Amino acid sequence: MSDGIYAALSGAVASERALEIVANNVANVGTTGFRGERVAFTESVSRAQATQVGGSQPVAQSLRYTELAESRIDTSEGPLRQTGNPFDMAISGDAYFAVETPQGPRFTRDGSFLVGPDGVLRTRQGFVVRGEGPLTSPASPITVPPAASGAGLSSVSVAADGTLSTEEQVIGRLGLHRFPRASDLRPEGGSLLVANDVRAASTDSEAQIVSGFLEGANVGPITGMNEMISASRSFETFQRVIQSFRSLDERAARDLAGGG
């Protein structure tokens, strides 16, 4: 079997993975706070020994393989949409809300929060929104007093630093968390991200809350479709190359069999 088929196969595998990532981006263009993934490829070179025609000296031949070097979160901000609801919050800056899930802390840019029956600030999925405090400690929820929630949404204000308050009292402060590298986070579905190590997170004092707004996905449908078409064509090209190598191998096998 020709060694070239393995190089083509590596390209097909990398292209298939890229296609999966781009397809997920396109599927979430309408997801609040969604951050798309970007892929980077690398080329690895393998040296194979071959015998020079007409002599006995081995010569080095390079076989180049394509690999998916990494997929990382795109940290660019998405467009803001005004809602007028103070519990709808967007973040200006490279930071994330922390929410408590059964699997532990998760991070999101989706600030479409609501007050649960117990008065606790939660996500639309029911996860508790964590207030400021260490992520390695139990969740510190933000509880809206019954009087405030009963008086209507307008009775609660959200400051740029994440402090929730009424005219009578401070309710709590949202934790805004920043990671030094985009690769410190990976997607877990929808707008949720999981950290490789929550201890890498730091409190972001520069990020600000924009109350009454929601952040849209930072991927657009047109760009996403163009990327999907490109990845699909790349995958199809590698498939054709693989088929060509297989046809050559089959022809060579028939010729050898016939010559024997």
Same domain, 184 and 122: yes
Q: Indicate the pLDDT class of residue 51, thresholds 50, 70 and 90.
A: very low
187 and 226 both lie in a single domain? no
- Whether 22 and 129 share a structural domain: no
Element (H, E) at 64: strand 58-73
Query: Which residue do the tokens 């060579």 mark?
Result: 252
The answer to whether 45 touches 62, Cβ cutoff 8 Å, is yes
Among 40, 46, 47, 45, residue whose Cα is nearest residue 14: 40
Where does the pLDDT of residue 10 fall: very low under 50, low under 70, confident under 90, or very high at 90 and above? low
Are residues 121 and 66 part of one domain? Answer: no
The reported pLDDT for the residue numbered 190 is 87
Beta bridge partners of 99: 106, 129
Given a cut of 70, whether residue 61 has pLDDT beyond it is no
Asked if 26 contacts 221 with a C-beta cutoff of 8 angstroms, the reply is: yes
Residue pair 26/71 in contact (Cβ under 8 Å)? The answer is: no
pLDDT band at 249 (very low <50, low <70, confident <90, very high): low
Residues of the chain above pLDDT 90, percent: 45
Number of structural domains found in the chain? 2
Domain that holds residue 241: 4-75+220-259
**Same domain flag for 90 and 172:** yes
Q: Which of 162, 156, 190 is nearest to 177 (CA)?
A: 162
Closest CA to 183 of 75, 41, 108: 75
Looking at 198, 215, 232, the residue that finishes a domain is: 215
The DSSP bridge partners found for residue 70 are: 40
- For residues 233 and 188, state if they share a domain: no
Mean pLDDT within 222-245: 74
Tell me the pLDDT band of 58, cut-offs 50, 70 and 90.
Answer: very low
CA atoms within 13 A on the CB side of 84: 1
Please tell me the predicted confidence (pLDDT) of residue 4.
61
Verify that 120 and 196 share a domain, yes or no.
yes
Q: What is the pTM of this model?
A: 0.74
The answer to whether residue 57 scores a pLDDT higher than 90 is no
CB 98 within 8 A of CB 107: yes
Query: For 93-147, what is each residue's pLDDT tens digit?
Result: 999 999 999 999 999 999 999 999 899 999 999 999 999 888 888 888 999 887 6
When the pLDDT of each residue in the chain is averaged and rounded to a whole number, the result is 80
Phi, psi of 78 (to 5 degrees): -90, 170
Q: What is the pLDDT of residue 19?
A: 83
| Structure confidence at residue 151 (pLDDT) | 47
28 burial level (CB within 10 Å; 0-12, 13-18, 19+): buried
Question: Is there a single domain that holds both residue 162 and residue 239?
Answer: no
Tens digit of each residue's pLDDT (9 = 90 or more) over 167-218 = 888 999 999 999 999 889 999 988 999 999 999 999 887 899 999 999 999 9
Co-location of 70 and 87 in the same domain: no
Residue 118 pairs with which residues in a beta bridge?
none
Same-domain check for residues 37 and 145: no
Q: What is the pLDDT of residue 134?
A: 87
List the beta bridge partners of residue 202.
Answer: 178
pLDDT band at 47 (very low <50, low <70, confident <90, very high): very low
What's residue 53's pLDDT?
45
Q: Tell me, yes or no, whether 224 and 211 share the same domain.
A: no
If asked whether residues 146 and 210 sit together in one domain, one would say: yes
Q: Which tokens in the block code for residue 129?
A: 């929104």
Q: 42 and 69 in contact (C-beta within 8 Å)?
A: yes
pLDDT of residue 14: 73
pLDDT, one tens digit per residue, over 151-172 is: 455 588 999 999 999 888 899 9
**Percentage of residues in the chain having pLDDT higher than 70:** 74
Please choose, from the candidates 39, 74, 62, 70, the residue with its C-alpha nearest in 3D space to the C-alpha of residue 234: 39
Q: What pLDDT sits at residue 123? A: 96
